[in-house]
């Protein structure tokens, strides 16, 4: 059985799109299990660059079955727009290989309106820094049992009634925020052009995924955002509204946790964060500028500049624990080229003393969690042509080994550029060890 979960081990934006795209060469089924159009995954194939927000990253692989699971919230405008963009690029296989859980919830215009109004009216220092894509309000509707699911599109009478109930609940909130609530007719008008495209792709995704695992097909579960943005395990309240950890794969796709065979965490060789919230290793100097500019650290959905910082080993160990990581995929090692010295957070000084655990409850309290750094040698050699570990400069190889040793998780893959081929594969979870580390 090969059921592999790919999960972000930081604050998202770790490069999941590329890693999932690489591994889906060996996968039969790719499942997105959480999040919505706030999660942009960038794929680079040759000279072609594509950003997908809802479609699984495996969509570029002809022959793979791609599933949007019930743990997602889906904006139909975004989904159809992504499908049409791929069709324009000659990817004619896209619609036939895509399936959508009839239990996945929809992001509707009033969710986006509420999200935008909340962020715009928040007092200074209180905004969460959301993408204003309606994700939080859509999950709120799901939890309070007034959400609209994809399966509701099959029955217009039922759909109309449910939209009316949801709008009735939201209208006082929208009014209090200074907005004007849309009508039921206006919401329906945004959905109706999309429904004929979506209905043929609806399915019992839970059964599809379980059947695939039972049939010993190779299944890839693609996470969104990252561990430190998880609603339960992240830096609350500066988190997303879904389960971004590996356990969310079972919930969001509708399978038992014993079906999962391997969990791979993705981490950059440094750290980034978009939006508000604690970021203890953040840099605001020339090194931080280098990471942002060389790493093209701008949000793939919003275009916002990402905050940059040094790698945080306690955070990585935390991610290893809450996800049960079997291996790490290390991305953007090439971005560090040109830095004379590298610093890595290895511990924290807290009111209780020094700890090598992540003091997550202290992170948003100034002066209560002070990073402790170790310094490593940088390198200047280009990594453009490196394809095996032994070709890395000695300092880069030492850096990779340092991360592996201190995190306690073996390195499965090292990315030295954005393209598929700019990769050192050490261990393939679907095949086995590719090369001696």
Q: Which residues are catalytic?
A: 13, 41
| Cα–Cα distance measured from residue 218 to residue 212, given in angstroms and rounded to the nearest whole number | 8
With residue 343 as reference, give the H or E element that holds it. Answer: strand 341-350
DSSP 345-380: EEEEEETTEEESS--TTTTTSTTSSEEEEEEEE---
- Residue 25: which residues within 8 A CB-CB, separation 6 or more? 61
Whose structure tokens read 């939209």? 163
Using CB atoms within 10 A of its CB, is residue 405 exposed (0-12), middle (13-18) or buried (19+)? Answer: exposed
- Candidates 51, 47, 67; CA nearest to 3 is 67
- Candidates 331, 333, 335, 334; CA nearest to 287 is 335
| Cα–Cα distance measured from residue 264 to residue 4, given in angstroms and rounded to the nearest whole number | 7
| Cα–Cα distance measured from residue 15 to residue 19, given in angstroms and rounded to the nearest whole number | 7
Spell out the alpha helix ranges (H) of 220-333: 247-253, 286-294, 313-323
Identify any residues that bridge with 73 across adjacent strands, giving them in sequence order: 105
Using left for φ > 0, alpha for ψ between -120 and 50, and beta otherwise, residue 383 falls in: alpha
Whose structure tokens read 């969990």? 263
Q: Which two tokens stand for residue 391?
A: 């070709």
| Cα–Cα distance measured from residue 173 to residue 437, given in angstroms and rounded to the nearest whole number | 56
Contact in structure between 217 and 266 (CB atoms under 8 Å): no
Crossing angle for the helix pair 313-323 and 394-407, to the nearest 10 degrees: 50
């Amino acid at each position: 059985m090969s059921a592999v979960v790919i999960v972000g081990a930081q604050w998202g934006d770790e490069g999941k799109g590329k890693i999932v795209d690489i591994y889906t060469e060996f996968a039969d089924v790719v499942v997105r299990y959480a999040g919505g159009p706030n999660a942009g995954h960038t794929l680079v194939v040759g000279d072609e660059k594509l950003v997908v927000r809802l479609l699984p990253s495996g969509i570029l692989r002809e022959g793979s079955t791609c599933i949007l699971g019930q743990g997602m919230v889906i904006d139909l405008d975004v989904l159809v727009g992504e499908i049409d963009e791929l069709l324009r690029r000659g990817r004619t296989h896209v619609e036939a290989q895509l399936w959508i859980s009839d239990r996945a919830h929809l992001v509707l215009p009033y969710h986006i309106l509420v999200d935008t109004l909340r962020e715009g009216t928040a007092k200074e220092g209180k905004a969460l820094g959301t993408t204003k894509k309606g994700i939080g309000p859509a999950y709120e509707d799901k939890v309070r049992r007034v959400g609209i699911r994809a399966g509701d599109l099959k029955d217009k009478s039922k759909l109309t009634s449910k939209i009316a109930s949801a709008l009735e609940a939201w209208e006082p909130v929208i009014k209090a925020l200074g907005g004007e609530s849309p009508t039921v007719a206006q919401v329906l008008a945004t959905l109706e052009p999309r429904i004929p495209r979506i209905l043929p792709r609806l399915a019992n995704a839970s059964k599809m995924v379980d059947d695939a695992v039972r049939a010993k097909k190779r299944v890839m579960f693609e996470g969104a955002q990252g561990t430190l943005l998880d609603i339960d395990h992240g830096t609350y309240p500066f988190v997303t509204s879904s389960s971004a950890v590996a356990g969310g794969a079972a919930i969001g796709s509708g399978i038992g946790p014993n079906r999962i065979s391997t969990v791979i965490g993705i981490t950059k060789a440094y750290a980034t964060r978009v939006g508000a919230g604690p970021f203890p290793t953040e840099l605001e100097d020339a090194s931080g500028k280098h990471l942002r500019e060389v790493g093209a650290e701008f949000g793939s959905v919003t275009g916002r500049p990402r905050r940059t910082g040094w790698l945080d080993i306690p955070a990585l160990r935390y991610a290893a624990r809450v996800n049960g990581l079997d291996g790490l995929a290390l991305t953007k090692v090439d971005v560090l080229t040109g830095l004379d010295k590298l610093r890595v957070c290895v511990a924290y000084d807290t009111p209780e003393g020094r700890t090598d655990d992540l003091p997550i409850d202290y992170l948003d309290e100034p002066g209560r969690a002070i990073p402790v750094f170790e310094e490593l040698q940088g390198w200047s050699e280009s990594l453009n042509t490196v394809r095996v570990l032994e070709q890395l400069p000695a300092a880069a190889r030492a850096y990779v080994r340092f991360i592996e040793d201190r995190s306690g998780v073996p390195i499965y893959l090292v990315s030295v550029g954005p393209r598929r081929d700019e990769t050192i594969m050490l261990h393939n979870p679907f095949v086995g060890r590719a090369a001696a580390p």
